[in-house]
Structure 1
């Protein structure tokens, strides 16, 4: 779904659920924000083509955080690309993405016997063999990447220790990752069951009030148009 000049929200499907990576591009390159679950490379290719952007144009990937549904197809992307793709992530989530530490939410050692037994065999395999990829550009928050008219990095911890959100100055668009979700077209707080530190996650939302935001893309729920900051202020209560 094209949202603005050089901006599209990709719509991936897996087992009836929707995931929404973001594609940003200009004449020189394309940047992908988050990469879906393992095995979704072809869906990503098709979605990029529908937006009018060739996979060969992809030169950077930014990961909002370490969760499996955000890093899943990154190894396949790097393997299939002819480019030397730069991979960006926050320094606190980097060791989990690279496999130095097990992913925090899918580590079998953190689960009870009942939780583990309730998982389908395919998910158990993924949890035991999560995707791993090198992160060659570490972020701390506050940086501005020069790509595609400027991408501002906002450190929004809580959902994971190294969760980041992105602000696109050119289109006044916030890419929120999992810092918020959209349900029935309305912005909602992060999901408590999948957020490691809910208090910190909600506190992080204050940073969005400093920005001139017209559109928000949430990884779960998709696009929400912002008419007034009260839509975000209401989430802080």
Structure 2
């Protein structure tokens, strides 16, 4: 789905916690660069490539991957893209996420499951084992680390917003020219309503609420949520409402 000039939201079918759903990686492109923001669950590279090509974008020109955070449904195919490309693809993330994405430390949610492994029900133990394998196969070298407030040239100007809480180094991206926010998992769309991510999937919900406050200073007309897709109804007003719920 075309969101604005140089911004394409992909819609990739996925099984999320046993439910059929979809995820929404984003392609940013201009005359110089093609950037993929988040890379889906392991094994979804073919579907993502097909969605990119269907949008009329040459996937062979992909030269940058930005990972909003460390979760497996976001990092899952970064290494596959890097390995399969004839061109150099640089992988970027916030400096707080680097050690987890590269495999130097155990991803925070996997570590939490591991800590409580003996008391987990069997289905959660099975999930732990699958995540452990998935993360082990998805480790990828980070080429550049991003910082809060950093200005990227992509899509006519993109600002990095450090929004920890869902994970320690979660980021959002604000494309200034089109007033589009790529929200990662800070926000979600449920039944057409912009909402905060469930506390059950956050590393630190209090920190996530504080991060939400940071968005109030931006003029946002459209939000792309990784889970739930596009939201474009009185965005600034809705974010203010959500911040009051903190």
Q: Report the counterpart of residue 8 of structure 2 in structure 1.
A: 8
Q: CA RMSD in A?
A: 1.6
| Aligned mate of 1:17, from 17, 21, 24 | 21
Q: CA deviation at 1:87?
A: 0.9
Q: Does residue 73 of structure 1 match 2:77?
A: yes
1:219 is matched with which residue?
A: 226
5 Å matches for 1:65-104? 65-104=69-108
Once residues 148 and 210 of structure 2 are traced to their aligned partners in structure 1, the CA distance between those partners, rounded to angstroms, is 15
Give TM-score, length-normalised by structure 1: 0.95
Does residue 234 of structure 1 match 2:233?
no
Q: Which runs of 5+ in 2 are unaligned?
A: none
**What is the SS of the residue equivalent to 1:229?**
helix
2:49 aligns to what? 45
Q: Is the 8 A contact 2:96 2:169 kept in 1?
A: yes
Aligned to 1:115: 120
In 1: Cα distance, 2:58 partner to 2:104 partner:
33
Structure 1 runs (4+) greater than 3 angstroms displaced: 119-123
What does residue 59 of structure 1 align with? Answer: 63
The structure carrying a bigger helix percent of its residues is 2
Q: TM-score, normalised by structure 2?
A: 0.91
SS across alignment from 2:219? coil
The Cα offsets for residues 166-203 of structure 1, whole Å up to 9 and x where unpaired, read as 00012110000011111112110121100011111011
CA, structure 1 residues 124+116, in 2 after alignment: closer, same or farther (shift >3 Å)? farther
Per the TM alignment, residue 148 of structure 1 is displaced from its structure 2 partner at its CA by 2.2
2:171 paired residue number = 164
Indicate the SS of the match to 1:69: helix
How far apart are 1:122 and its partner, in Å? Answer: 7.7
Query: Pairwise mapping of residues 202-213 of structure 1 onto structure 2 (< 5 A)?
Result: 202-213=209-220
Q: CA deviation at 1:118?
A: 1.2
The 1:125/1:135 distance shift into structure 2, 3 A limit, reads same
Change (3 A) 1:102 1:87: same
Matches of 2:194 and 2:134, distance apart in 1: 34
Alignment pair present for 1:189 and 2:193: no
Give the CA deviation at 1:113: 2.6
1:118 aligns to what SS in structure 2? helix
The 1-side partners of 2:127 and 2:243 are apart by 38
